A and B are shown apart, each in its own frame.
Chain A
């Protein structure tokens, strides 16, 4: 996947700023470097770009192509430096370079910096061609998992499963996120590999709605790792995809026997109970989940919904406002807020939330902070267009 990126670099060339008129020796070097690069003599190209950049450090195209040639050769520390220089001296079209910074930093295992640069790239509207977006968003998903943002990671990975079908790399990534393991594929204990693989296969097939196969892998997972956290939760999630709420609830309850503080299982149980109008079951689950995960938008959303059903509109509004704070681009949060404001007689607030809902309702939804949303906020999308 990474090696395939070479072609996208050509695609990005057009918008690069032009260097000021160089002396003859520089021009000759630049020509030689380009010739070496386009004839796939990348080691020569790297040497020639370096020579050219010694003569003219302000040569932004030179930094870009040096970075890309080093990247193509998996020489990530050098690529990283080159892309940093490119960003520092270029005035325009630097946005895709942030994705490359993130990728290089991922490869050099500077995960914190990689995350920061991917976040900048996402905020800029995920610029680049399809290949760059695929590779960078895949790695971004790996880092989201490592940071504990499992839902967002799975959202990104499910999109890839739908686009490309099952693959080993995808299964490993989805396995880690599904089991809520804060790891990247390179650093989790080898003895957990089978568990991750089985969970990943179940998740991939689940996201493809091939539920027979998803359950087959989930059953294998449960047979050997049923006492591990999040295993029953995953099985419950697959049942939820199938709208089999009875079976799903049983798996979520089983999950709580294994890991009594699993807020996600509680949230799902609260939703199922709410659906069945069993408020006495839904309320304690939603309350406990929100207490356990005060930064989880979904937990506050669930509690807000349950409180609304119990006609405690004031408290419901408070919970939904918390959810909105944590996930401002969530259409469903805005929709429920508009409803509860109406019930409270707060007409203006209700109208405002309804208006926002109208702008968000057709967007892909994942309850996440705006910078973590793969499609960006509506405002960002507008700018990209």
Chain B
């Protein structure tokens, strides 16, 4: 991946306004140096260029073109700590320039400053990197890896699905998807060799499921469960799939997951969701209570509890739970819809209409997303 990024950096140029911002009244020596540095760069005399850019930056420490090109050259040469320091100075001067944040984040990824890297890659994503597809792919990829390492598995998977949908090679994404699907806070390079196949199977199965290739997904998950029956996460993956077609087998698999990893929250939520869909609130309730005990701020658990209580006619209880869910996940429209209905049932018209407005706003925002 590093080698791949190196090539693309040559194509990333300093934005026009920055390039043009170099004043024409610079001291002659600086002008000469900057021209010589550019020439050395154009002629692929990298070491000369690096030396000259450094000289120029000594004379003019805020020379943006110098910071950028020296940073990218050092990144290409895998001198990531030096590149990082230059990009930090560069983004300080150009906080709205997405590619700067992107390259800073990727440098920090290489120096293993993962928390900063994630923050800066996200900033790069938010600001955008223009039409530089390779750079965008790298930013998405590294962000997805880091989200999993910081235990934000759902967000990581969503990003990987987007990348897969945008035509990224599945082979590159399989392991990261497996890591996120199984819930391990690892980078692909941190996977123990003895279980690499488990992550690959989980990732391939997840993508098969995404492509509606259920038979393939089932085969892959079945193989994973047979090969790694004692590993946390595998029975959950398989059980979640089976729950749709063979619910009894699905429930068994999810129960097995809870034997392997007793605090597994997604299994409990999946089981509760399943029982709620069967209108079996007696079966659903204990799973939800357990989730709330393990993770008091789990939005899904409060949402399902709200739905359960609403179905039983306990409107005030439902509203209480749904408001808790909304507090934790204010952008989840399903929670808002549940609340809207609960408010209506309770005759709270103003609250209901406020929820309706919020839903419309959220829907508009979400449909505006790329």
- Taking CB atoms, residues of chain B closer than 8 Å to A74 are 88, 116
Contacting pair B92 A190 (CB below 8 A): no
- Contact segment of B107-115, B213-221, B300-308: B107-115
A8 within 8 A of B: no
Docked Cα-Cα span, A43 to B67, in Å, equals: 14
Residue of A whose beta carbon sits closest to that of B81 = A109
Contacting pair A194 B184 (CB below 8 A): yes
Docked Cα-Cα span, A194 to B88, in Å, equals: 31
Q: How would you classify the secondary structure of chain A's contact residues: helix, strand, loop or mixed? A: helix
Contacting pair A191 B190 (CB below 8 A): yes
Contacting pair A168 B92 (CB below 8 A): no
Contacting pair A168 B187 (CB below 8 A): no
- Taking CB atoms, residues of chain A closer than 8 Å to B232 are 220
Contacting pair B192 A194 (CB below 8 A): yes
Contacting pair B88 A216 (CB below 8 A): no
Docked Cα-Cα span, A46 to B89, in Å, equals: 11
A25 within 8 A of B: no
Contacting pair B88 A73 (CB below 8 A): yes
Residue of B whose beta carbon sits closest to that of A3 = B119
Residue-wise, chain B 54-65 has the 8 Å CB interface mask toward A (1 for contact) of: 000000001000
Contacting pair B261 A216 (CB below 8 A): yes
- Taking CB atoms, residues of chain B closer than 8 Å to A168 are 149-151, 185
Asked if A47 meets B62 with Cβ closer than 8 Å, knowing A216-B262, A223-B230, the reply is yes
Contacting pair A75 B89 (CB below 8 A): yes
Q: How would you classify the secondary structure of chain B's contact residues: helix, strand, loop or mixed? A: loop
Docked Cα-Cα span, A168 to B262, in Å, equals: 20
Docked Cα-Cα span, A344 to B184, in Å, equals: 58
Contacting pair A213 B263 (CB below 8 A): yes
Residue of B whose beta carbon sits closest to that of A190 = B190
Asked if A46 meets B186 with Cβ closer than 8 Å, knowing A168-B149, A191-B192, A216-B261, the reply is no
Docked Cα-Cα span, A73 to B62, in Å, equals: 14
Docked Cα-Cα span, A153 to B190, in Å, equals: 25
> In the complex, what's the smallest C-beta–C-beta distance from A166 to chain B, in angstroms?
9
Residue-wise, chain A 141-173 has the 8 Å CB interface mask toward B (1 for contact) of: 000000000000000000000000000110100
Asked if A194 meets B190 with Cβ closer than 8 Å, knowing A75-B85, A216-B261, A216-B263, the reply is yes
A325 within 8 A of B: no
Contacting pair A197 B185 (CB below 8 A): yes
Report 16 cross-chain contacts, Cβ distance below 8 Å, ordered by A residue. Answer: A46-B92, A47-B62, A75-B92, A77-B85, A168-B185, A169-B115, A171-B185, A187-B112, A190-B189, A193-B186, A193-B187, A194-B190, A216-B262, A220-B232, A220-B261, A223-B230
B interface residue numbers (CB < 8 A to A): 62, 85, 88-89, 92-93, 95, 111-113, 115-116, 119, 149-151, 184-187, 189-192, 230, 232, 261-263, 294
